[in-house]
């Protein structure tokens, strides 16, 4: 039930992003998210036993590279439902970084998984329109790339308190996000006007991003991974696109034509092959031996 709650928060979060972007420019929205993820929680949570450099890389990768870019993409370049699907390419970037840094080899089933998922992305690219552009698709793939960097960085941190890790890493996302917002989104007068005129619902979206998505989601996820086998917990995020596309269709009337369902099926199939093939192969060997 906890895993289901986490993926429900992460999936429906894309609808919250789209609604809140009507009041905040994307990089300001991301900056506010990480400001409230860091303060005032940092006064009550000790810094984890990990280097400042590791925290910095994770904070910038997840704050600027993942969510800053993702917010910018959803702000007119890709629909929220498709964004929730495409960002799952982070799985393959994480594999690639493991190959590069940990010298892990690419198996045949992983090549098949990547190929199947890429066919799904090509289908999305072919069907671009006013709501989803090639540029938006590229931005979300870049966000997935940044998520892969963040995953690799947190793995190198070792066994730590994930809640504390996320809180303190958030501090490193705040300055670059405010700087980018200040330079490209209109200066202080425009940003202060945006914050002053934002309705209560938009601020509720900021807090949902900060506390619901960032602090609850990642802390609960870290707790599950520490208490249960990774093979049992890891498949849960595959439900994120289901919640994301379903919530976007229900709340934002995002259409679900056949091509979109086919693309989603291919991307998720690629993820499933990558995740479950070793276990399935082992069971088949035992059965026929």
SS percent in the chain: helix, strand, coil, step 5: 80, 0, 20
Mind listing the pLDDT tens digit for each residue in 204-259?
Answer: 999 999 998 888 887 787 677 666 655 556 666 777 888 888 888 888 888 888 88
* Confidence (pTM): 0.83
Listed in sequence order, the residues at least 6 apart from 111 whose beta carbon sits closer than 8 Å to its beta carbon are none
* Structure token digits, residue 221: 């996820």
Q: What is the pLDDT of residue 146?
A: 92
Q: Pick from 81, 118, 126: which is nearest to 259 by CA?
A: 126
Q: How many domains does the chain fold into?
A: 1
**Which class for 277: exposed (0-12), middle (13-18), buried (19 or more C-beta within 10 A)?**
middle
Those residues of the chain that have pLDDT short of 70 are 102-106, 129-130, 222, 225-236, 282-284, 286-289
Domain interval for residue 42: 2-288
pLDDT of the residue at 206: 93
| pLDDT at res. 182 | 93
247: tokens are 């919530």
Q: State the pLDDT at residue 173.
A: 96
């Amino acid at each position: 039930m906890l895993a289901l709650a986490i993926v429900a928060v992460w999936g429906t979060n894309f609808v919250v992003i789209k609604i809140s972007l009507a009041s905040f420019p994307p990089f300001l929205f991301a900056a506010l998210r990480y400001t409230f993820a860091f303060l005032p929680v940092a006064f009550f949570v000790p810094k984890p036993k990990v280097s400042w450099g590791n925290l910095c890389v994770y904070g910038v990768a997840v704050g600027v590279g993942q969510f800053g870019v993702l917010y910018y993409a959803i702000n007119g370049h890709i629909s929220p439902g498709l964004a929730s699907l495409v960002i799952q390419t982070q799985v393959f970037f994480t594999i690639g970084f493991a190959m590069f840094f940990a010298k892990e080899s690419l198996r045949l089933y992983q090549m098949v998984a990547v190929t199947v998922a890429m066919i799904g992305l090509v289908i999305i690219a072919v069907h671009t329109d006013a709501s989803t552009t090639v540029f938006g698709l590229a931005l979300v793939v870049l966000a997935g790339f940044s998520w892969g960097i963040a995953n690799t960085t947190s793995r190198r941190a070792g066994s730590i308190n994930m809640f504390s890790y996320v809180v303190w890493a958030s501090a490193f996302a705040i300055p670059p996000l405010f700087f980018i917002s200040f330079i490209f989104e209109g200066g202080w007068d425009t940003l202060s006007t945006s914050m002053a005129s934002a309705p209560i619902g938009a601020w509720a979206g900021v807090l949902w991003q900060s506390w619901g998505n960032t602090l609850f989601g990642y802390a609960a996820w870290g707790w599950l991974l520490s208490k249960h086998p990774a093979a049992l917990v890891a498949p849960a995020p595959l439900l994120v696109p289901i919640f994301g596309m379903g919530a976007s269709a229900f709340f934002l009337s995002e259409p679900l034509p056949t091509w979109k369902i086919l693309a989603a099926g291919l991307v998720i199939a690629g993820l499933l092959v990558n995740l479950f093939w070793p276990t399935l192969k082992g069971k088949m060997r035992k059965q026929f031996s």
